[in-house]
Structure formats: structure tokens, C-alpha cells
Amino acid sequence: AYIDEAYNGSSGPASARSAELDAAPAAPGGERERAPARSRPPSALPNGGRVTLVGAGPGSPDLLTVAAHRIITDPDNLLIVDRLVSDEILGLIGGEYKVANKNPGCQGAAQKEIYEWCLEGLREGRHVVRLKIGDPFVFGRGGEEVLEFRDFGVEPAVIPGVSAAFSAPLLGSIPVTHRGVSNQVVMCTGYGRDNTSPDLIQYQKEQTVVFLMAVGRLRTLCDNLHRKANFPVDTPVAIVERAGCPDQRTVVGTMESIADIAEANNVRPPSTIVVGEVVNVLLTEDDFAREVDSATQEGLIRTDA
């Protein structure tokens, strides 16, 4: 639809797709409902413009895939970057890049700006690299962006990333499964459509729940898990902040105490929340930055290890 303007209104896949979208009803929350596409658009525009969606992993450059490292260090590429991509990874970028301002309350405007930047690059015949934290398709709007790029008339390539859902707990010495402790893992987001709270799965003792993008509403989340999903107040909870980065921190508490502990330690995104008995499988008293009661291991994990 948008790319037609760059090609003087020429008809083609984007024009046909635009007509379908214009006729489609609005979904709840004001988003467009897309009719199923008849076919995929080409991987590049006539002027050579193309898009690649890339996962940046949890934050450490060492956890980039080889393919991701190769594409972000190419000086000819234009990178459109999520706000939470780490400074360490930004330092590897070889060419021009722009960072989206996806602060709380600004996500809609920021996403629109991202699409405008991508469109501008495509019109210039650039290789646009959409760099997203973690894996693009794990609560990262990756699928939505693929559909939007198809509306532009181009099929994006995709390079998966290491998701924080599994790597962040590992980097914080927390196994998401452990024989006799947890035999299932559930991944959740802290924010549903229009910033609503998503439905919560009911408590099961041998279960690990990993929350992404939820630290901003941690207190409400814990309250809902206890009152609506029957999680005991003494359920262990850990938060791994900036996983894999030099300033990685982990805080540990219970469903009842973790919000206060996180507030006292000024925990901020990007952070991954882990809920379940696995939190205490590998951690010892020596891991904590100050003396704790071994029966209620809580507090800030040592950061100088």
C-alpha cells in the first residue's frame, strides 16, 4: 500500500493487498484485520530494497548468532533498532542506525515511526535490517511486522535470535526445568493487547512460568497470580535484569516479597521474571550479595562473580 507511492501508484501485489485491507473491518483495539494473503510478495523491490528481521538475543554480543553478527556489522545496511537492544550490541553496528523510542505509553507512535523509517529505506533501495531484542517472534511483534512489510510489497527474511525466555534464566543460574521440580514451562507476556493484563494459567507445583516484558507491572502481576491463579504467597520468584550484559543482576524473593525487593534495587527492563520452585535449585547462600536466611533466600544476587 505505502510502497505504491514510491512507484507512482503502479498496480501490483501491494495495490491488491491494500484494497483487501481497506475493506477489512477493524479489530478490537483499532488494529486492522487482514484478509488472508493470496501469495507472498517478492523478497526485494524493483529498486533492490529489502528487509531482514533479526533477533539480537538477550543482550550480550557473544549470544548473537553468526548470521546476526554478519548482517549488523555490514556498513551498507540501515538498521532500525528496538530501544532495549543493549549498548554492547549497538557498538557493533557498522553502518547507519535509528533507535525506536518504545517507552511505556509510546509504543503505538514508536511502531508507526519504525514503519516509516523502514519504508524510507526501502524507497531508497536500501537493505533495511529490523533489529529486535531476543527473538523477533517471541512476544516481539515479529509476525505483525512481517504482515506490515508484505503490505509494503516485500517479503522479509528472518534471522532468529536467542530468546530471553530460556537464556536469561540460564544466565541467572536458574534451570527452567529440573527433574522432580518442574516438568513444564509456560511463557507469558506481561502486557496483552492495548496494555491489558493477559489471562494467567492456574498454579501447578511442578511448573515454571517465565514472564517477558512484565517488570513494569510486577506488583500487579504477583497479586493476580496469587488471587486469580492460586499461586501460594511463598512461591519463589526471580528477576534476571539485562541478561548476559556486564551489569546483569538477579534478584530473588517470593510472590509476596519480590515487588518490594525489585523496587528497593531499582530493577528495570529488559528483565525476565521466573516463577516456580526451580528458582532455588542451583542458587546458594554464597550467591547473594549479603547474608540471608537460607530458608527464605531473598535479595540481590552477587554481581561481581
Q: pLDDT digits over 249-259, tens only?
A: 999 999 999 99
- The confidence score (pLDDT) of residue 96 equals 97
**Of 132, 135, 151, 213, catalytic:** 213
Q: Indicate if 102 belongs to the active site.
A: yes
**Of 102, 132, 135, 255, catalytic:** 102
Nearest CA among 47, 19, 15, 43 for reference residue 32? 19
> Does the structure show a pLDDT above 60 at 80?
yes
- The confidence score (pLDDT) of residue 286 equals 80
Q: Give percent of the chain with pLDDT exceeding 70.
A: 79
Nearest CA among 287, 271, 279 for reference residue 178? 279
Q: Indicate if 82 belongs to the active site.
A: yes
All three cell numbers of 77, joined, read 545496511
Q: Indicate if 187 belongs to the active site.
A: no
**pTM, entire model:** 0.82
Q: pLDDT digits over 213-227, tens only?
A: 899 999 999 999 999
Q: pLDDT digits over 162-215, tens only?
A: 999 999 999 999 999 999 999 999 999 876 666 556 778 899 999 999 999 899
Among 25-29, 135-139, 179-183, 224-228, whose mean pLDDT is lowest?
25-29
Q: What is the average pLDDT score of the chain? A: 85
**Amino acid present at 272:** T
Q: pLDDT digits over 36-55, tens only?
A: 667 899 999 999 999 999 99
Secondary structure string (H, E, C) spanning the chain:
CCHHHHCCCCCCHHHHHHHHHHHCCECCCCCECCCCCCCCCCCCCCCCCEEEEEECECCCHHHCCHHHHHHHCCCCCEEEECCCCCHHHHCCCCCEEEECCCCCCCHHHHHHHHHHHHHHHHHCCCEEEEEECECCCCCCCHHHHHHHHHHHCCCCEEECCCCHHHHHHHHCCCCCCECCCECCEEEEECCCHHHCCCCCCCCCCCCEEEEECCHHHHHHHHHHHHHCCCCCCCCEEEEEECCCCCCCEEEEEECCCHHHHHHHCCCCCCEEEEECHHHHCCCCHHHECCCCCHHHCCEEECCCC
Nearest CA among 187, 230, 195, 224 for reference residue 107? 195
